[in-house]
Amino acid sequence: MYLPKVGWVKCKGLREDFVGKIKTVTVSHEANLYHAALLIDDGIETVPVCTNTNAIGLDVGVSLVVADSEGGMTKPLDLVHELTRLRVRAQQLSRKKKGSKNRAKAKVKLAKQNLRIANMRKDFLHKLSLQYAENQGIVVVEDLKIKNMTKATKGTVETPAKNASAKRGLNRSITQQSWGLFFELLEYKVKARGGKFVKVDPRHTSQTCNCCGHVSKENRLTQAKFVCTACGHSVNADTNAAKNIRDRGIHGSNASLKIAV
């Protein structure tokens, strides 16, 4: 591989106590930029014992919002501006003559914009997962392999999706990639702190009342609101689902159903 003569490169942000503990340096090339990944041995061999018994359930959806069982909501990253720029860069590339120098330049610009968006998304997910890993001893999420993440793009009677079929493909790839990565980051951050990371069966988590255990499609009158037809319990639909997820993680797969019996 060709490597430019860069001489000494100033390393921004490397913690002083890591100096001298670098095991390997991996250099990669992407979007005409060189990236160095440092593998550092921090000397810590055992995972600390976690005394935090706080449990939290997280509900993620097609809308890219994270709802937790404590009632917290994290809005998705606003990438509208960046995605518009990406489309412009792709259009510019398509207009350049094949084999020309300008085409090569436009190609790099498009790759850089793609990388920028990927980095913004990773940064967002790293911060969000760290926040939960630091404050909770047990983190429960849905097993996304079973969950059909694309269902909501079909729209409901109240909120019909515009161009549902066109949006579906894009939605599927973005949400699955993002949440897959989010859970990966969350798992290692939780486990590194001695905590527990649990994946549960996602079936009926959004249709089950967390108060009385009643399961019905009628409980979800709108996308956002949950109103139980059996006990009248009214709550934000995503918060209700997150609570069911948390309870399944603690008590087993039919926890919220057992209460109803």
Binding residues for Zn ion, per CB under 5 A? Answer: 209, 211-212, 214, 228, 230-231, 233
Q: Least Å distance between CB 55 and Zn ion?
A: 21
Q: Least Å distance between CB 18 and Zn ion?
A: 52
Nearest in space to 251 (alpha carbons), one of 133, 146, 145, 138: 138
| In contact, 32 and 39? CB cutoff 8 Å | no
Catalytic residue among 68, 142, 187, 247: 142
Alpha-carbon gap, residue 119 to 179, rounded angstroms = 15
201 is catalytic: no
CA dihedral 182, 184, 189, 193 (to 10 degrees): 130
Q: Least Å distance between CB 15 and Zn ion?
A: 50
Catalytic residue among 68, 187, 238, 247: 238
142 is catalytic: yes
Q: Least Å distance between CB 70 and Zn ion?
A: 20
Complex with Zn ion: residue 190 or 211, whichever CB lies closer: 211
Q: Least Å distance between CB 218 and Zn ion?
A: 11
187 is catalytic: no
Complex with Zn ion: residue 66 or 228, whichever CB lies closer: 228
Complex with Zn ion: residue 39 or 231, whichever CB lies closer: 231
Complex with Zn ion: residue 115 or 212, whichever CB lies closer: 212
Complex with Zn ion: residue 169 or 232, whichever CB lies closer: 232
Query: Would you name the residues annotated as active-site residues?
Result: 59, 142, 238
